[in-house]
Amino acid sequence: MDKTKKVSITVIRRLPRYYRYLSDLKREGIERISSDDLSVRMGVTASQIRQDLNNFGGFGQQGYGYNVIMLHSEIARILGLNKNFKAIIIGAGNMGHALANYPNFSERGYEIVGIFDNSKDLIGTFAKEHDTSKSSEIRDIAKIKEFVSKNQVDIAMLTVPSLYTKDIAEMAVSLGIKALWNFSPMDLKLPGDVVIENVHLSDSLMVLGYRLKTLEIEG
Amino acid sequence: MDKTKKVSITVIRRLPRYYRYLSDLKREGIERISSDDLSVRMGVTASQIRQDLNNFGGFGQQGYGYNVIMLHSEIARILGLNKNFKAIIIGAGNMGHALANYPNFSERGYEIVGIFDNSKDLIGTFAKEHDTSKSSEIRDIAKIKEFVSKNQVDIAMLTVPSLYTKDIAEMAVSLGIKALWNFSPMDLKLPGDVVIENVHLSDSLMVLGYRLKTLEIEG
């Protein structure tokens, strides 16, 4: 039985943060931690932590706290970090280059296997710094169909201008890609069984502005 | 009396999304909308919408719905989008360039007034596309103190390698900057009255991976 099925997406959205904090604890050699101590570190209430983590069974024990290694690996399993997802980037502009060089994706089991653009100036150049392997080479978007038919591609990261996002997204889905990570400032929606995460950088900036205005220090 | 003081940060974090949807409605010329219709568009429950928006007083009326223009401008006011915040970017790598060219910040009242790096190759080049004004020129980080003393700077956007983030952040705060937007994959924390938003791109990617694994289409 897969216990994770019943967990709400709201709780799932908080798991990456737990994962990061537990990674830090592991690195520091801390073997167990109480919800109170974790609460102080993370700046959320202990009751929220207990409620969230209770969703995944009995990792916490009264008077003992949480076993860091067990909880860390269980959250990794729930998030599917052991799946070794393969991703392509479509759009090799500044944001595409930034994603190609982002240090944390491969650690988390997300491998960037191809990068595509339509610019003659970019095709044939390398997007990952100090990496001239095929996975770093910017390929002609005209060749994407052939690439996807020959390689496992789970995720398309879309870093194209908003005007083209929908067309490019539909094209990716037509090739069988089931997950889209969209960086255009728009809520991309498509019918069918495709999962989409829209990243809205402005949202986070607006919250920063609000907190600056009200000097709300605790986020 | 400032009614916004009592609103929880959890609700505030949802406001940018309301703002985006209301902007779309305004653009479409829609003058009023029921919580049910807004619920369908946004993919959240009508009761959540009513609960969130009730925090800001009586914008919704039974049988009428919400007045789009009023609600839009009230949310803009709460978020401080009329404040014309001035920002600098520290770190003119790929992510710094991506932020310099992100289309939505200036529309929201966030103006990028300076960009800094320590690389001799970058200093003197222009970060914003098709823009050779002073606000687009990459400046020597050694001149940042002088710049901040002469110009209004509310926000520092930090796009430097994680190793340097804390030092650069402390330097920015020592110059009087009160808000930091951090793109390094770490939870930056500093003492004192400085507000910090940490952007964790991997978190969103991990949620995408979870939803792909479970084929959870509704986010």
Angle at which helices A201-214 and B68-79 cross, to 10°: 60
Element (H, E) at A20: helix A9-27
Nearest to A205 among B12, B78, B110 (CB): B110
Percentage of residues in chain A having pLDDT higher than 70: 94
Burial B74-89, CB ≥16 within 10 A → b, else e:
bbbebbbbeeebbbbb
pLDDT-based confidence at B58, cuts 50/70/90? low
Identify the residue among B122, B210, B211, B216 best suited for mutation to test binding to A, counting A beta carbons within 10 A and taking the highest.
B210
Cβ-defined contact of A203 to B102 (cutoff 8 Å)? no
| Tokens matching residue A63 | 């008077």
Mean pLDDT of B35-45: 90
> Please, which residues bridge with residue B195 across strands?
B179
Q: In what order do the strands lie in the sheet with B32-33?
A: B32-33, B65-67, B60-61
Local structure of A161: helix, strand or coil: coil
What residues of chain B lie within 8 A of the CB of A203, using their CB?
13, 16-17, 20
Angle at which helices A9-27 and A35-42 cross, to 10°: 100
* CA-CA-CA-CA dihedral for A160, A166, A167, A171, to nearest 10: 90
- Chain A contact for B81 (CB, 8 A cutoff): yes
Dist. CA B191–CA B31, nearest whole Å: 45
pTM of the predicted model, to two decimals? Answer: 0.90
- Residue B55: predicted pLDDT: 81
CA–CA distance from A140 to each of A155, A181, B31, B89, B141 (Å)?
18, 20, 45, 32, 37
Local structure of B11: helix, strand or coil: helix
What residues of chain A lie within 8 A of the CB of B122, using their CB?
none
Using CB atoms within 10 A of its CB, is residue A92 exposed (0-12), middle (13-18) or buried (19+)? buried
Local structure of A15: helix, strand or coil: helix
What residues of chain B lie within 8 A of the CB of A154, using their CB?
212
pLDDT-based confidence at A2, cuts 50/70/90? very low
pLDDT-based confidence at B107, cuts 50/70/90? confident
Nearest to A204 among B83, B197, B215 (CB): B197
User: Of A73 and A217, which is predicted with more confidence?
Assistant: A73
Residue A1 has pLDDT above 80, yes or no: no
Dist. CA B216–CA A194, nearest whole Å: 9
pLDDT-based confidence at A4, cuts 50/70/90? very low
Distance from CA of B65 to the nearest CA of A (A): 23
Residue B21 has pLDDT above 80, yes or no: yes
ipTM: 0.92
Kindly report, residue by residue over A19-28, the tens digit of the pLDDT: 999 999 999 9
- Residue B104: predicted pLDDT: 84
Name the amino acid, one letter, at A131: D
Residue A3 has pLDDT above 90, yes or no: no
CA–CA distance from B25 to each of A56, B33, B109 (Å)?
40, 9, 20
Give residue B184's Cα distance to chain centre.
16
Q: Tell me which DSSP letter residue B58 carries.
A: S
- The residue in chain B having the minimum alpha-carbon distance to the alpha carbon of residue A44 is B10
Q: Where are the beta strands (DSSP E) in A159-217?
A: 179-182, 195-198
Give the least confident one: A6-10, A215-219, B68-72, B106-110. Answer: A215-219
Percentage of residues in chain B having pLDDT higher than 70: 94
Dist. CA B65–CA B1, nearest whole Å: 26
CA–CA distance from B154 to each of A130, A212, B36, B84 (Å)?
35, 8, 38, 10
What residues of chain B lie within 8 A of the CB of A79, using their CB?
206-207, 209-210
Which residues fall within 8 angstroms of residue B93, CB to CB, at 6 or more apart?
Answer: A98, A101, B117, B159, B160
- The residue in chain B having the minimum alpha-carbon distance to the alpha carbon of residue A104 is B202
Contact assessment for residue A15 and residue A73, using Cβ atoms and an 8 Å cutoff: no
Shortest CA distance to B85 belongs to which of B140, B151, B137?
B151
Dist. CA B197–CA A219, nearest whole Å: 7
- The residue in chain B having the minimum alpha-carbon distance to the alpha carbon of residue A10 is B219
- Chain B contact for A215 (CB, 8 A cutoff): yes
Dist. CA A46–CA B102, nearest whole Å: 38
Dist. CA A33–CA A67, nearest whole Å: 7
- Residue B186: predicted pLDDT: 85
pLDDT-based confidence at B59, cuts 50/70/90? low
Mean pLDDT of B199-203: 93
pLDDT-based confidence at B63, cuts 50/70/90? confident
pLDDT-based confidence at B2, cuts 50/70/90? very low
Nearest to B17 among A79, A181, A203 (CB): A203
- The residue in chain A having the minimum alpha-carbon distance to the alpha carbon of residue B80 is A210
- Residue B60: predicted pLDDT: 66
Contact assessment for residue A101 and residue A44, using Cβ atoms and an 8 Å cutoff: no
Shortest CA distance to A91 belongs to which of A128, A118, A66, A112?
A118
Residue A184 has pLDDT above 60, yes or no: yes
Residue B4 has pLDDT above 50, yes or no: no
Identify the residue among A13, A208, A215, A216 best suited for mutation to test binding to B, counting B beta carbons within 10 A and taking the highest.
A208
Distance from CA of A79 to the nearest CA of B (A): 5
Mean pLDDT of B78-88: 93
Q: Could you give the residue ranges of the DSSP H alpha helices within A59-200?
A: 68-79, 94-100, 104-107, 144-150, 162-174
Kindly report, residue by residue over B128-161, the tens digit of the pLDDT: 999 999 999 999 999 999 999 999 999 999 999 9
What is the pLDDT of chain B when averaged over all its residues?
91
- Residue B53: predicted pLDDT: 87
Residue B105 has pLDDT above 50, yes or no: yes
